[in-house]
Amino acid sequence: MTQSEQDMPLIFELSRPGRVAYSLPACDVPRRPADELIPSELLRSEPAALPEVYEVDVIRHYTELSRRNFGVDNGFYPLGSCTMKYNPKVNEDVARYSGLAKIHPYQPEESIQGALELLHTLQNDLAGLTGMDAVTLQPAAGAHGEWTGLMMIRAYHESRGERRSKVIVPDSSHGTNPASATVAGFETVTIPSTAKGLVDLDALRAAVGSDTAALMLTNPNTLGLFEEQITEIAEIVHEAGGLLYYDGANSNAIMGITRPGDMGFDVVHLNLHKTMSTPHGGGGPGAGPVGVKKLLIPFLPKPLVVKNEDGTYNWDTEQADSIGRVKAYYGNFGILVRAYAYIRTYGPEGLRAVSEDAVLNANYMMHRLAPYYEIPYPGVCKHEFVMSGRGLKKYGVRTLDVAKRLLDFGYHPPTVYFPLNVEECIMIEPTETESKETLDGFIDTMIRIAKEAEENPELVLNAPYTTTVTRLDETTAARKPVLNCACS
Ligand SMILES: *Cc1c(COP(=O)(O)O)cnc(C)c1O
């Protein structure tokens, strides 16, 4: 950011009494007294302190604010675990086709056959991709998919006359896993990871029992590691009568290579707003479809789209044991269109190439950074990896300082301090779409910051220098939010 941008006057400073951004003819509609329209105790006694400015000032103000935002369209954004992956712009066009964007969910089925075919094909494609027997497209987010899956697991156990109250989650699981289990009425049991960062089989054996409803697993886990003993894990849980839940929010390491269904999992959710072409952030909308094996099909949310023998499609609302509807209408249709377009343009080989490149990029970055930052779990990572900044502590520099310093070089920092089981954690997911030049640029900057920490720690400790705001007091901001600007 240049000096002049930083010095740009705020819109309140530009304000001059009587200056306006419009010119309108005098109003010829008779005015009613304000207190006839609004109760007098709610009426302002003085006009609001709004800036009085020209139209160009308003436009420049908002354009400048938008430029202070950071997103994948202006820079590298390697935020591990929840990374925004590739969202082809053409899929935005596809989702806006009027035949798809302007239909109504209550239109008669015969008038939306194309949309139903799209949903049916997507259900099948996602089932094929994950190795599952059926898929619901209704859930609106990853956590919503988790909850939907757990409600089906609960219904399944209850249908067999079993009351199983516990869901096991490894300590490397995503935070939504224990949260969803709790909301679905289960008790969560956390099991530790081994020194290699994988599920501790002895701890798992000790934790399972006749009260185990399910194990929820993220694989590759949040350390970016593939669970080597995945089939043993599946056996232990199934032998105890529990089901296996796969958190597939980030599937960029496995698409076209392996499938949760083949690993023994009974339920999986995907985040279409991470892996399949929907931009995320700012709270949605998203989609968290859930795939299930045969034993859970009766409990799927209704309705599902079904194909009739004559080739037409319709909603099946007859499922007697369904857990019910989990989302208004049929899910976030526009998001499903993007995912459909994404899968159809890539095809099976293309999806596999996505995963291979995502894994290659992460490994390249990890190996180049290993001499400068501690890699707590060395070896081959999947689409993301974790490092520890604890080696910089002797200079008084912490991971947070490294993240702040990255801002000066125009990078969005990686995820920090997650997962919780790695001290001074830095979690990086480069994604498959970045060029080698971009990866090298980021790596060189990380190396430079490690050297700065050693030679001139103050420089890192006082960063960032180039951003509009510097270090915010996040605790006070959360506890005592100031939600309106009291400028005058
Ligand atoms: C993002 C994420 C989730 C939650 O998805 P939301 O759409 O944010 O609810 C769950 N698990 C993992 C591993 C994730 O990365």
What residues pair up with 247 in beta bridges, in sequence order? 218, 269
Contact of 273 with 143, CB cutoff 8 Å: no
The pLDDT tens digits for 419-431 are 888 999 999 999 9
Contact of 418 with 425, CB cutoff 8 Å: yes
Q: Across all residues in the chain, what is the average pLDDT?
A: 93
Which token pair is 119? 């949903």
DSSP structure class, residue 31? P
Angle at 48 between CA 43 and CA 53, to 5 degrees: 150
Taking Cα atoms as reference points, which of 209, 138, 152, 221 lies closest to residue 180?
152
Angle at 384 between CA 382 and CA 388, to 5 degrees: 120
Taking Cα atoms as reference points, which of 286, 282, 294 lies closest to residue 270?
286
User: Average pLDDT of 286-307?
Assistant: 97
The pLDDT tens digits for 134-155 are 999 999 999 999 999 999 999 9
Residues of the chain with CATH 3.40.640.10: 89-345
Instruction: Give the number of other Cβ atoms within 10 Å of residue 113's Cβ.
Output: 13
Fold for domain 89-345?
Answer: Aspartate Aminotransferase; domain 2 (3.40.640)
Q: Is 271 in the pocket of ligand 1 (CB under 6 A)?
A: yes
DSSP readout, 460-483? HHT---SSSS----HHHHHHS---
Q: Give the per-residue pLDDT at 8.
A: 59
Q: Give the per-residue pLDDT at 82.
A: 78
Cα of 284 from ligand 1 centre, angstroms: 12
Taken as a whole, the chain contains a residue count of: 488
In 3-state terms, what secondary structure has residue 291?
A: strand
In 3-state terms, what secondary structure has residue 344?
A: helix
Q: Is 173 in the pocket of ligand 1 (CB under 6 A)?
A: no
The pLDDT tens digits for 341-392 are 999 999 999 999 999 999 999 999 999 999 999 999 998 999 999 999 999 9
DSSP H or E run through 189: strand 187-191
Ligand 1 atom closest to 271 (CA):
7
Q: Is 143 in the pocket of ligand 1 (CB under 6 A)?
A: yes
The pLDDT tens digits for 9-42 are 678 888 999 999 989 999 899 988 888 889 989 9
Q: Give the per-residue pLDDT at 7.
A: 55
Q: Give the per-residue pLDDT at 3.
A: 43
Cα of 248 from ligand 1 centre, angstroms: 9
Confidence of residue 68 (pLDDT cuts 50, 70, 90): confident
DSSP readout, 355-372? HHHHHHHHHHHHHHHTTT
d(CA 468, CA 277): 31
Nearest CA to ligand 1 atom 12: 249
Ligand 1 atom closest to 284 (CA):
7
Cα of 94 from ligand 1 centre, angstroms: 25
DSSP structure class, residue 312? -
Q: Give the per-residue pLDDT at 359.
A: 97
Q: What are phi and psi of 244, to 5 degrees?
A: -115, 125
The pLDDT tens digits for 228-279 are 999 999 999 999 999 999 999 999 999 999 999 999 999 999 999 999 999 8
In 3-state terms, what secondary structure has residue 346?
A: helix
Q: Is 82 in the pocket of ligand 1 (CB under 6 A)?
A: yes
Provide, rounded to the nearest whole percent, the portion of the chain with pLDDT above 90. 78
d(CA 210, CA 241): 7
| pTM of the entire predicted model | 0.89
Q: Give the per-residue pLDDT at 215.
A: 98
Q: Is 170 in the pocket of ligand 1 (CB under 6 A)?
A: no
**For a pocket test of ligand 1, which of 82, 144, 148 has the largest count of ligand atoms closer than 8 A to its C-beta?**
82
The pLDDT tens digits for 152-202 are 999 999 999 999 999 999 988 888 999 999 999 999 999 999 988 899 999
Ligand 1 atom closest to 81 (CA):
15
Per DSSP, which regions of 19-72 are E strands?
A: none
Confidence of residue 84 (pLDDT cuts 50, 70, 90): confident
Cα of 306 from ligand 1 centre, angstroms: 28
User: Average pLDDT of 470-487?
Assistant: 80
Q: Give the per-residue pLDDT at 2.
A: 44
Q: Is 415 in the pocket of ligand 1 (CB under 6 A)?
A: no
Q: Is 81 in the pocket of ligand 1 (CB under 6 A)?
A: yes
Nearest CA to ligand 1 atom 14: 249
The pLDDT tens digits for 94-121 are 999 999 999 998 999 999 999 999 999 9
Q: Give the per-residue pLDDT at 1.
A: 42
